[in-house]
């Protein structure tokens, strides 16, 4: 029971932090604000999380878990690799729309990113490469895809995806309104088609 309450508090803090970090970004949010959001004193937060950084990292890990759980459930289905890829790419778009902290970290300049956070991002990326590589290997194995090096191809595809997001941020001067977002989604969809055509064996 006490353990349950402790976990609830932990999750409440995590949730409050997640909201504030998503809205204001890590550096603009104070521990006092998060504490007030959950009705506690600041010092009490440190009972649950040793540092502000570790709180942020847990927010990121939490969002990464949501990202991967939304995608993993799909990996065991017996569907063509082509369809799996489409499904993955579509879910990726959705998740990056809602998982704000994860998205922000992925697009943040390395000059603005603490080493520890950049490492966290690299881990996330590595995990995503593995998933995409897995999809490519399935396609290769059942004769759908022509991919000589699935790992490198996975890396390249993720670079392409990154390109669209980073590009729109640059061109729209960091202000992605709804219209720009729709435009970016449209670009992404065309990109996905080119990629699928580019790796698919045609008969």
Distance CA 157, CA 6 (A): 42
94 binds DNA (CB under 7 A): no
Residue from 66, 121, 135 nearest 97 by CA: 66
164 binds its own copies (CB under 8 A): yes
Nearer to its own copies among residue 69 and residue 197 (C-beta): 197
- 146 token code pair: 């022509």
- List, in sequence order, the alpha helices (H) in the chain: 2-24, 31-37, 42-48, 52-75, 81-98, 100-107, 115-141, 150-171, 178-199
- 180 token code pair: 């720009």
Q: Report the residue from 43, 77, 78, 173 that binds its own copies according to the rule CB under 8 A.
A: 173
Q: Report the residue from 155, 176, 180, 185 that binds its own copies according to the rule CB under 8 A.
A: 155
Nearer to its own copies among residue 9 and residue 86 (C-beta): 86
Give the x/- contact pattern for DNA in 29-68, rule: CB under 7 A. Answer: xxxx-------xxxxx-xxx-xxxx---------------
Shortest distance in whole angstroms from residue 82 CB to DNA: 47
Q: Which does 155 bind (CB under 5 to 8 A by kind): its own copies, DNA, none?
A: its own copies
Locate tokens 């191809």: which residue? 153
Contact between residue 60 and residue 101 where contact means Cβ atoms under 8 Å apart: yes
* Chain residues in the site for DNA (CB under 7 A): 2-3, 5-6, 9, 29-32, 40-44, 46-48, 50-53
């Amino acid at each position: 029971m006490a353990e349950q309450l402790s976990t609830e508090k932990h999750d409440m803090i995590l949730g409050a932090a997640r909201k504030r970090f998503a809205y204001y970004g890590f550096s603009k949010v104070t521990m006092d604000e998060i504490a007030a959001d959950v009705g506690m004193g600041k010092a009490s937060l440190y009972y649950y999380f040793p540092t502000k950084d570790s709180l942020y990292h847990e927010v990121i890990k939490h969002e990464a878990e949501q990202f991967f759980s939304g995608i993993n459930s799909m990996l065991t289905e017996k569907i063509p690799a082509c369809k799996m890829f489409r499904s993955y790419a579509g879910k990726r778009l959705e998740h990056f729309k809602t998982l704000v902290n994860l998205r922000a970290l992925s697009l943040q300049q390395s000059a603005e990113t603490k080493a520890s956070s950049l490492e966290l991002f690299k881990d996330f990326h590595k995990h995503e490469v593995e998933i995409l590589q897995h999809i490519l290997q399935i396609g290769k194995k059942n004769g759908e895809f022509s991919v000589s090096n699935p790992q490198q191809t996975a890396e390249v595809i993720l670079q392409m995806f990154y390109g669209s997001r980073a590009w729109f941020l640059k061109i729209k001067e960091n202000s992605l309104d709804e219209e720009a977002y729709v435009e970016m989604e449209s670009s992404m969809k065309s990109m996905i088609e080119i990629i699928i055509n580019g790796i698919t064996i045609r008969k």
